[in-house]
Structure 1
Amino acid sequence: MNGPLSVVTIVAALVLAAWYLLRAALNRAPSRFDLLAAAVFSALVAVLVVIAVVGLFGDSRPSDTATFGGYLITTIAFVPVGAYLARLEPTRWGSLILGIACLVLPVLVLRLQQIASVTGA
């Protein structure tokens, strides 16, 4: 797992989570800007996942490749699904959905790092 890219992803997720949760607290529905920010963040997560998948074909693989693959699939799908659900819910709860999705992403990235670091991937 790429250390600096993981840190950027985690920081971006936490900043976006704070923004979305603030909007939910202010009773604001997700705006187009919020959904666009989620799409840009999803692209950043996709870059991280692609780099991790490329690393799977290298010399140092995680010992539990199936678990690592499951976390990769969950990581890449989490924010787009959250954005889709937020778009279906055009109230403050849509902002809350986006906020929770962005709060879960750092946990997924940290878990990917833990699995990869067991074998030095």
Structure 2
Amino acid sequence: MISGYAVAVAICALALAVWSFVLVAVNRPPTQPLLYGLMGVEALLLVQVVISVVLLISGERPGSIITFLIYLIVALLVLPLGTVWALAERTRASTAVLGVACITVPVLIMRMYQVWEGASA
């Protein structure tokens, strides 16, 4: 796993979480620019999937491949699921759901990194 890229994705997701919670504080539903930001982070997560697959094909292995793949899949799904939920009910609470989804992404990335590094420990 490329640690610098993982940190960059995590920082982008945290920035979106802050944006979401600012919108919650001013009682706003999810905005179009926020949704575009979510699409951007999702694209970064797709690149993370490609990087991971290439590293796995090249012979590098995480400590537990099953655990790593589960974290990778969940990280890829959490933002779309949160977005579907948020768009079904455009309220202040749905903006908070997006914020929580955005906070979940860095946690999953951190766990992926820990599982990946477990192989070399």
TM-score when normalising by structure 1: 0.93
CA displacement, residues 69-106 of structure 1 (integer Å, 9 cap, x when unaligned): 11111011111111111111201111101100011111
RMSD (Å) for aligned C-alpha atoms: 1.1
Residue of structure 1 equivalent to 2:17: 17
> Which letter does structure 2 place at the counterpart of 1:83?
T
Partner of 2:37: 37
Instruction: Tell me the residue number matched to 1:81.
Output: 81
Deviations 1:29-74 (A, max 9, x none): 0011111111111101111122112211222212311111111110
Counterpart in the other structure of 1:95: 95
Does the CA-based 8 Å contact 2:72-2:112 persist in structure 1? yes
- Counterpart amino acid of residue 23 in structure 2: R
Aligned residues with identical type, % of pairs: 36
Match of 1:59 in 2: 59
Q: Which runs of 5+ in 1 are unaligned?
A: none
Q: What residue number does 1:68 align with?
A: 68
Letter in structure 2 aligned against 1:116? W
> Matched residues in 2 for 1:93 and 1:13: separation?
19
Query: 1:60–1:119: 8 Å Cα contact kept in structure 2?
Result: no
Q: Check the 8 A contact 2:64/2:116 in 1, yes or no.
A: no
Question: Bigger shift: 66-75 or 51-60?
Answer: 51-60
SS of equivalent to 2:95:
helix
Which consecutive residues of structure 2, in runs of 5 or more, have no partner in the other structure? Answer: none
TM-score, normalised by the number of residues in structure 2:
0.93
